Amino acid sequence: VGGYVAAIMTMKLHQPFLLAIIVGALAAALAGVIIGLPTLRLKGDYLAIATLGFGEIVKGAANNIDYIGGAAGMIGISRLTNWTWLYVMMVITIVVIVNFLNSTHGRACVAVRENELAAETMGINTTYVKVLAFAMGAFFAGIAGALYAHYFYLIQPTSFTFLRSFDVLVMVVFGGLGSITGSVIAAAAITFINAALQDLGVLRMVIYATLLVAIMVFRPQGLLGTKEFSLNILAKKRGGVRGAAGN
């Protein structure tokens, strides 16, 4: 959604790239709310399956909308995304998410994730929290879609298959469901693994799947679990090492 809306903004409406990213992200957030409301009764794996299903519905709809090119998609998008845009948006995303998790709303989201029934008992509005989580997740996914569309010159329904959604889900689980640091490391690692194994054909998927199964078996909580990288922790460790060396 974010990619298509951003492409429409730059190609058809001739708007600045930054404005296109913002509008694309807001459109994606709205879509997240629309998707989130009907699925509020679902929990756990069923909720994940429902969201993946909605992704397929959106892809099917895009195939039949002539204004955005139908199955062929939108071709000839200006390549406006560069490493500076990617880095700046990545930093902004991480800073916003970290600050959000340390806020009242963020702690409410964590409480619902850990135990929805207990969170409800504590007076947390779980409906509001879930919709907020959907909207925020969709907002930043919309930014990613806008950057994607303006890097590869085109965007089409086949750009966002079920496997692409699955890759994102794997990155989060692989890094640790409660760790932003872990998700960043996992995203970089899985992207590198995919690129390194690309020339191996079908064997690439076998090796990729084997690595993922091994992680799930031997490290079910993910690489970092709920741990986060912190400069304070790093400083304490350095202080401890210096103290030990002094003794």
Q: What is the pLDDT of residue 44?
A: 63
Q: Residue 6: what pLDDT?
A: 93
C-alpha distance from residue 153 to each of 3, 60, 133, 150 (Å): 11, 21, 30, 6
User: 219 vs 112, which has greater pLDDT?
Assistant: 112
Q: What pLDDT digit, counting tens, does each position of 171-209 carry?
A: 887 787 777 888 888 888 888 887 787 777 777 777 767
User: pLDDT tens across 44-98, in order?
Assistant: 667 777 777 787 788 888 888 888 888 888 888 889 999 999 999 999 998 998 8
Cα-only R_g, the chain = 20
Per the model's pLDDT, the better-predicted residue between 35 and 141 turns out to be 141
Q: What is the dihedral of CA 214, 183, 199, 76, to 10 degrees?
A: 150
Confidence of residue 239 (pLDDT cuts 50, 70, 90): low
Residue 231 pLDDT: 47
Going by pLDDT thresholds of 50, 70 and 90, the confidence category of residue 234 is: very low
Among 131, 130, 140, 128, which Cα is nearest to 98's? Answer: 140
Q: How far apart are CA 121 and CA 138, in angstroms?
A: 28
* 52 compared with 25, residue with greater pLDDT: 25
Q: What is the pLDDT of residue 30?
A: 93
CA distance 215 to 80: 37
- Which H or E element spans position 74? strand 74-75
> Which pLDDT belongs to residue 18?
94
Residue 17 burial (10 A CB sphere; 0-12, 13-18, 19+): middle
Domain spans of the chain? 1-160, 161-231
Percent helix, strand and coil across the chain, each rounded to 5? Answer: 75, 0, 20
CB 3 within 8 A of CB 148: yes
* C-alpha atoms less than 13 angstroms from C-alpha of 206 in its C-beta half-sphere: 5
DSSP string, 33-62: HHHHGGGTT--HHHHHHHHHHHHHHHHHHH
Does residue 232 register a pLDDT over 90? Answer: no
Higher-confidence position of 165 and 238? 165
Band the pLDDT of 238: cuts 50, 70, 90.
low
**pLDDT value for 189:** 83
Whether pLDDT at 151 is above 80: yes
| pTM (2 d.p.) | 0.81
Quick one: pLDDT band at residue 240, thresholds 50, 70, 90?
Answer: low
Distance of alpha carbon 244 from alpha carbon 232, whole angstroms: 18
Q: Quick check: 245 pLDDT over 70?
A: no
Over the chain, what is the mean pLDDT?
81
Secondary structure of residue 86 in the 3-state scheme: helix
User: What Å distances lie between residue 223 and 67, 92, 227, CA to CA?
Assistant: 43, 23, 9
pLDDT at residue 164 in the model: 74
Residues 144-173: what's their mean pLDDT?
Answer: 82
What pLDDT is attached to residue 223?
Answer: 74
